[in-house]
Amino acid sequence: MKNTMVAAVAAMLLSSTAVSAVELEVTHWWTSGGEAAAVAELAKAFDATGNTWVDGAIAGGGGTARPVMISRILGGDPMAATQFNHGRQAEELVEAGLMLDLTDVAEAEGWREAMAAPGMLDSCTIDGRVYCVPVNIHSWQWLWLSNKAYEDAGVPVPTNWDEFVAAAPALEEAGKIPLAMGQQPWQSSGAFGVMAVAIAGLDTWLAVNRDKDAEVAGGPEYAKVFEAFGKAREMSAGSNVQDWNQATNMVITAQAGGQIMGDWAQGEFQIAGQVAGEDYTCLPGLGVNEIISTDGDAFYFPKLDDPEKEAAQKQLASVMFSKETQLAFNLKKGSLPIRKDVDLAAANDCMKKGLAILGDGNVMPSGNQLLSPDTSTQIEGLMVEFWNDTSITPADAQAAYADIIASAD
């Protein structure tokens, strides 16, 4: 009798003290296999707080998703949280006063002290206030190679960009495409940026992307980059896919030798059951200049004028930055954790390479941190046009590029 009475009282107390679950709609563009597995870890962590993650995945990549996100926020139909790339993509929304200030959470939880690359929090900070929670470090600076494609072609797996270019004829002989590339503009534009750092060097890349020096953009070092980019265009002839993960799948299935892509490609290799170092090889900095760029993702929280939702938004930001969530999410995403106190013992060979480079301080900013969204979009448009129109010469493309940099902000 007694136990039943105690159980009844406990149930009553629990029901009377239970806080009502708050539903938060979260928008993002993570729709590939690896990305979906990773974002599910964020959702699971938030649901575990008793609140509810309402998933708002938008297919088609960031270039499609961001205009939808921005128009909803500006149009008075905001979501509760949304992904942007880490950098300047949401700065106009913040400056318009539309985004929630997270400084109290960031300070209470010591985000800046916990950051693996403290400068990254600067990209969330405007006028001394913090407006986003960075969730990963996703470096663009990688070349992913199919070990089987090179085995099939009877040539060794390349250890750097020059060897990759030299091996291309053997791959073509074996009926394979040397370089996989999808048609979304950000893909060829991203590959150009990685090649610029490897071929022209970091200082020259910074002169153009940080200092907006059009002379350098139109000069001899970048002429070498555009020549190599023209060669890369030839090596991807026949790569008729749209999405980045379809291009990654060409490498996974040994139809292509390699892909220049950010380390989110790892999520696809993992979902396919492939093992770093055995099935695929990763060359940071194209094997030329081992470096990590602080590309990545961050979540921003539109103001909703609802105290209960605002409390839940801050709880979501806190959950995203927590050690447990950082481990679960980044292992699935293939990215490096945003905080330095996460034990990545389970990291694969490629993630360990990235962590070592990060630990050595060979870190560079991302284009998204240095260039305005408008300038980035102009560069993407030029690069995808060059990629698809072989009548445009490397010299033509470089001249147009120098003009964009001349008016870059």
Nearer to ligand GAL (CB atom), residue 258 or residue 267:
267
User: Of 62, 178, 258, 285, which one interacts with ligand GAL (CB under 6 A)?
Assistant: 62
User: Using the rule CB under 6 A, is 354 a contact of ligand GAL?
Assistant: no
Distance from C-alpha of 77 to C-alpha of 79, rounded to nearest angstrom: 7
Q: Give CA–CA dist 192/281, Å, rounded.
A: 21
Residues that contact ligand GAL, how many (by CB under 6 A): 10
* Minimum CB distance to ligand GAL smaller for 42 or for 171: 42
Decide whether 29 or 280 has the Cβ nearer to ligand GAL: 29
Q: For ligand GAL, which is the closer residue by CB, 31 or 315? A: 31
Instruction: Find the residue with minimal CB distance to ligand GAL.
Output: 264
∠ CA(364), CA(367), CA(370), 5° rounding? 90
What are the CB-based long-range contacts (under 8 Å, 24+) for 323-327?
Answer: 324/45, 325/41, 325/42, 325/45, 326/135
**264 vs 301, beta carbon nearer ligand GAL:** 264
Q: Which span (27-35, 119-127, 300-308, 356-364) binds ligand GAL, by CB under 6 A? A: 27-35
Largest CA distance in the chain: 89
Residue 332 binding ligand GAL, by CB under 6 A? no
Stretch that binds ligand GAL, among 29-37, 192-200, 224-232, 401-409 (CB under 6 A): 29-37
Indicate if the alpha-carbon torsion angle 64, 65, 71, 72 is positive or negative: positive
> Least distance from C-beta 226 to ligand GAL, angstroms?
24
Using the rule CB under 6 A, is 297 a contact of ligand GAL?
yes
CB of 45 closer than 8 Å to CB of 68? no
* Binding of ligand GAL by 88 (CB under 6 A): no
Closer residue to ligand GAL in complex, CB, 132/402: 132
Q: Is 409 helix (H, G, I), strand (E, B) or coil?
A: coil
Smaller CB distance to ligand GAL: residue 30 or 226?
30
Q: Which strands sit side by side in the sheet containing 23-28, from one edge to the other?
A: 52-57, 23-28, 81-85, 297-300, 132-134
Minimum distance of ligand GAL from residue 135's CB (angstroms): 9
85 sits near ligand GAL (criterion: CB under 6 A): yes
Q: What does the DSSP assignment read for 9-73? A: HHHHHHHHHPPPPPEEEEEE---SHHHHHHHHHHHHHHHTTT-EEEEEE--S-HHHHHHHHHHHH
29 sits near ligand GAL (criterion: CB under 6 A): yes
Residues that bind ligand GAL (CB under 6 A): 29-30, 35, 61-62, 85, 138, 244, 264, 297
